[in-house]
Amino acid sequence: MSPRPKKIRRCAAQVCHRAFKPTGTPVTELKQIPLYRDELEVLKLCDLEGLFQEEAGKRMGISRGTVQRILTSARRKTAEALATGAALIFAEDTT
């Protein structure tokens, strides 16, 4: 039995750079943490725009539970990068 196909997620967030990293150190010398487009979108909707998870899910075409799972992952990755001086590498998809 194969897993359900991944639901298409509507993401409006535009990434203006390839990475977010500490200054002064080349990205090749840093631990690189991928931050996927859906993770960035959920961070933007919930933490920047202040939407509830249910409303963020409606905007993205996914369930509130999926938003919660993505948000937890995005926050963990962001916290790790900030706390350890790693680079966040913006990636298109989780597949």
Q: What is the pLDDT of residue 42?
A: 97
Handedness of CA 70, 51, 19, 62 (dihedral sign): positive
Q: What is the pLDDT of residue 92?
A: 81
Q: Tell me the mean pLDDT in the region 7-23.
A: 77
Kindly state the tokens that stand for 27: 């990205």
Q: What is the pLDDT of residue 10?
A: 66
Which CATH code of 1.10.10, 1.25.40, 2.60.120, 1.10.357 fits the domain covering 32-91?
Answer: 1.10.10
Q: Is the pLDDT of residue 11 over 80?
A: no
Query: In the predicted model, what is the mean pLDDT of the chain?
Result: 90
Q: Which residue has the higher pLDDT, 20 or 95?
A: 20
Q: Is the pLDDT of residue 95 over 60?
A: no
Give Cα 91 to chain centroid, integer Å. Answer: 9
Count helices and strands (H / E) in the chain. 3, 3
> What burial letters (b/e) apply to 21-51, b meaning 16+ CB within 10 Å?
beeeeeeeebeebebbbbbbbbbbbbeeeeb
pTM for the complete prediction? 0.83
Domain ranges of the chain: 32-91
